[in-house]
Structure 1
Amino acid sequence: MKKTVEDADLSGKKVLLRADLNVPMTDGEITNDNRIVQALPTIEYVLEQGGRVILFSHLGKVKTEEDKQDKTLQPVAAALTDKLGREVVFVPHTRGRSLEQAVSALEDGEILLFENTRFEDIEDKKESGNDAELGRYWASLGDIFVNDAFGTAHRKHASNVGIGSNIETVSGFLMQKEIDFIGGAIEEPKRPFVAILGGAKVSDKIGVIENLLPRADKVIIGGGMAYTFLKSLGYEIGGSLLEADRVELAKSLLDKAGDKIVLPKDVVAAEEFAEDASHKTVPVDEIPADMEGLDIGQGTVKAFEAELQGAGTVIWNGPMGVFEMEAFAQGTIGVCQSIAALDDAVTIIGGGDSAAAAMDLGYADDFSHISTGGGASLEYLEGRELPGLTAIDDK
């Protein structure tokens, strides 16, 4: 069990708060503020408890001085000011006298946001390289560290592990929610436990499949990765996505899993990879040699829906087809609707494209939990140790 923000005495304390404010921006305008919204509960709690919030985050990758212009967190400070209904002081530096003076000037219940932590990466990757001196410096600015950035928990950076090595560290509400839902689903799932995995490549999900096979009651596979499994069964897959060097692995996983792995029954095959391509639905053993599978068929959607009935826990990671193209998004939409309709199940989306799909389709509120971490949630599902989680103090 990890310590949470509720285990800490925050009144009058300088509280370092690492959030994931890595929002998409175009010409300095935030185009999706979901990550800001997700960070608010922890920020508001610390402020209500009389803490002095020293907030920080990364924003994209910063490799040159020119990158700084498009990667400043100043627009985020303005958005936070609006959402919190109180001023968020923005400090356009990651270290130095002006930052230290701003921290010293904070009163109880006040908040500042300092500049993009990745600005420290321009010369020699001090942030992403977990530079020890930088971790110590940032830790020296506060009395306690609240890590609420699950999206970077799989990275060993100065802004999570570096600070956590030098100061009392607890999880924020968002981080704790990820631990409770994803960690809980893997270790103590409400059964039956069904995992639905999609996306392009088997190689991206090997660790997840191998970790979930002994734990799940069913592992449903769709998306581009399904064609490597279908090829391992000897089927013609035409020009569908294939990882030829993973065919034997796919066959061994099927042999080991028995009927635990569920594959598509039909697919939507197209003459080319294009939105307006001529396409038709065919059984998986009748894919024309001159076509490629770009989505699961409606027969598969119904079959997957049947597998989900009565499920106690469902984890979904990865789309069922090329959902960016409307013609090949129906499988992803169907699976999303099937999971959303489950009344008594714990339903979890493991970040990435499937999370984006659920939110774009308007089903976000119908899931128990949508992970805020793409790579982090994937590594968590693989059962790998996440440095950002490990750095949080145990109770």
Structure 2
Amino acid sequence: MAFKTLDDISDLTGKRALVRVDLNVPMDGGKVTDTTRIERVLPTIKELSDKGAKVILLAHFGRPKGEKVDSMSLAPVTQAVSNLLGKTVGFANDCIGTAAAGAVAVMQNGQVLLMENTRFHKGEEKNDPKFAKALAANGDIFVNDAFSAAHRAHGSTEGIARLLPAYAGRTMQAELEALGSALGEPERPVLAVVGGAKVSSKIDLLENLVSKVDMLVIGGGMANTFLAAKGVDVGKSLCEHDLADTAKKIMAAADTANCEIVLPADAVVAKEFKAGADNDTVGLDAIPSDGMILDVGAASIDVVKTKIDAAKTLVWNGPLGAFEIAPFDIATVAAAKHAADNTKAGKLNSVAGGGDTVAALNHAGAAGDFSYVSTAGGAFLEWLEGKELPGVKALES
């Protein structure tokens, strides 16, 4: 897709730049406990500020459902943004109306202002044209740097982009370019690694991927559903037996599309899910009736590594096992490190994101060596599912 970026703006001096960012950060006792999302949008804020724009940040926080909820105010986030940005960030106690207009009116070129939670207004999630117009009244241009909110057609993500010249911020640009390189016009062969607990939450994703990729590794609890559909007795493992027909349809669609589906070749089983639990690695024909599959074994790891070696492009979503508790993190860590090594060696374009993926790759110490790791959850998944993202569509030039 073609979209405009900050490179398409010739002069930002004095321009009121309304910038949609994701500041929906974890808080504890009024303090931000994880600044990852703030750090992601700093390049855009700094660039606009350095070029003389008046930078006005729009963001949501929590789910106040159109009501003003003090515990969901963005005011406490202001200091964290200031600290990381290295300059004072102002705060307006509303995002529209006289309070917002007054705060913007006194801004000097290069200054940064954070507006109050957009979701304090019902018009935000309803994408009310009047609300979008009220937001746009305080800006000359709109910059969307919140890919993680791009799957929502809200006033501050989609509505406003129809009213002002709209551009992708640097994080949004990097995200769209990475995703385009992974599934838009990828270098083949393309490998997708999809894990997680349930098939039911990823049916659309799997159905889309089998038509887009050359190889699909299925891991985690969802692999059990596919194994069961093939007649494997998975014991007491997490398994959606009622989705056996769905699994069979996905495998048939993959066969038609010449997409190779890779399922576990062996399993690490235990009778209980706890740290250090007694476990055995067994063949698929030897899973005990009272055992749970909690990871895949050495044979499966070798197969996954071979597929990674054969690929030029990797899309990763979800862990291969119950990585949260050792020793059931072994396969996820091994595969992630192998993908990271191939990426560092220039052999692989690796793009990952969604759900537990970031946590799993961080746990493996591999996230920093992937080509791109998206912090977006729902938006990344909907993109993998082949769905149109309203906040991205609105940026098309």
TM class by shorter chain equals over 0.9
Specify the alignment match of 2:212 in structure 1: 215
User: For 2:200, what is the secondary structure of its paired residue?
Assistant: helix
Specify the alignment match of 1:237 in structure 2: 234
Which residue, 238, 245, 248 being the options, matches 1:248? 245
- Counterparts of 1:281 and 1:235, CA distance in 2: 16
Cα offset for 1:167?
Answer: 1.4
Specify the alignment match of 2:330 in structure 1: 330
- TM-score normalized by the length of structure 1: 0.94
Specify the alignment match of 1:175 in structure 2: 172
Deviation above 6 Å: which 4+ runs of structure 1?
A: none
Deviations 1:134-191 (A, max 9, x none): 1110011100100010001111111111211221111111111111111231121111
Specify the alignment match of 2:186 in structure 1: 189
The reply on whether 1:351 has 2:354 as its aligned counterpart is yes
- Counterparts of 2:123 and 2:236, CA distance in 1: 44
User: For 2:280, what is the secondary structure of its paired residue?
Assistant: strand
User: For 2:305, what is the secondary structure of its paired residue?
Assistant: helix
Deviations 1:264-291 (A, max 9, x none): 1112212123335432222223211111
Which residue, 30, 33, 57 being the options, matches 1:31? 33
Deviations 1:333-354 (A, max 9, x none): 1121111111221111123211
Query: For the Cα contact (< 8 Å) 2:297–2:331, is it kept in 1?
Result: yes
- Counterparts of 1:306 and 1:388, CA distance in 2: 38
Query: For the Cα contact (< 8 Å) 2:210–2:253, is it kept in 1?
Result: no
- Counterparts of 1:146 and 1:33, CA distance in 2: 21
Query: For the Cα contact (< 8 Å) 1:267–1:293, is it kept in 2?
Result: yes
The reply on whether 1:384 has 2:381 as its aligned counterpart is no
Cα offset for 1:374?
Answer: 0.8
The amino acid of 2:92's aligned partner reads V
Specify the alignment match of 1:370 in structure 2: 373
Query: For the Cα contact (< 8 Å) 2:268–2:279, is it kept in 1?
Result: yes
Structure 1 stretches of 5 or more lacking a match?
none
- Counterparts of 2:160 and 2:148, CA distance in 1: 17
Query: For the Cα contact (< 8 Å) 2:18–2:139, is it kept in 1?
Result: yes
- Counterparts of 1:81 and 1:350, CA distance in 2: 27
Note the 1:54-73 alignment, pairs <5 A. 54-63=56-65, 68-73=69-74
Cα 1:70/1:321, change in 2 over 3 Å: farther
Specify the alignment match of 1:88 in structure 2: 89
- Counterparts of 1:182 and 1:238, CA distance in 2: 38
Query: For the Cα contact (< 8 Å) 2:268–2:295, is it kept in 1?
Result: yes
The reply on whether 1:202 has 2:184 as its aligned counterpart is no
Of 218-227 and 321-330, more deviation after overlay is shown by 321-330
Of 205-214 and 369-378, more deviation after overlay is shown by 205-214
Query: For the Cα contact (< 8 Å) 1:186–1:212, is it kept in 2?
Result: no
- Counterparts of 2:329 and 2:71, CA distance in 1: 32
User: For 2:282, what is the secondary structure of its paired residue?
Assistant: strand
The amino acid of 2:46's aligned partner reads E
- Counterparts of 2:41 and 2:362, CA distance in 1: 17
- TM-score normalized by the length of structure 2: 0.94
Query: For the Cα contact (< 8 Å) 1:39–1:174, is it kept in 2?
Result: yes
The amino acid of 1:17's aligned partner reads V
Query: For the Cα contact (< 8 Å) 1:130–1:156, is it kept in 2?
Result: yes
Cα 1:361/1:26, change in 2 over 3 Å: farther
The amino acid of 2:324's aligned partner reads E
The amino acid of 1:389's aligned partner reads V
The amino acid of 2:80's aligned partner reads A
Deviations 1:59-84 (A, max 9, x none): 2222496x833322223211121122
Deviations 1:334-382 (A, max 9, x none): 1211111112211111232111222243322201100121110111111
Give the alignment's Cα RMSD to 1 decimal: 1.7
Note the 1:95-110 alignment, pairs <5 A. 95-110=96-111
Structure 2 stretches of 5 or more lacking a match?
none
Query: For the Cα contact (< 8 Å) 2:337–2:364, is it kept in 1?
Result: no
Specify the alignment match of 1:42 in structure 2: 44
Specify the alignment match of 1:307 in structure 2: 307
Deviations 1:242-266 (A, max 9, x none): 2223211212222342470000111
The amino acid of 2:329's aligned partner reads A
The amino acid of 2:348's aligned partner reads A
Deviations 1:278-325 (A, max 9, x none): 322222232111111122223211210111114211010011122222
Query: For the Cα contact (< 8 Å) 1:42–1:172, is it kept in 2?
Result: yes
User: For 1:294, what is the secondary structure of its paired residue?
Assistant: strand
- Counterparts of 1:227 and 1:119, CA distance in 2: 43
The amino acid of 1:205's aligned partner reads K
Identity %: 43
Cα 1:20/1:197, change in 2 over 3 Å: same
User: For 1:41, what is the secondary structure of its paired residue?
Assistant: helix
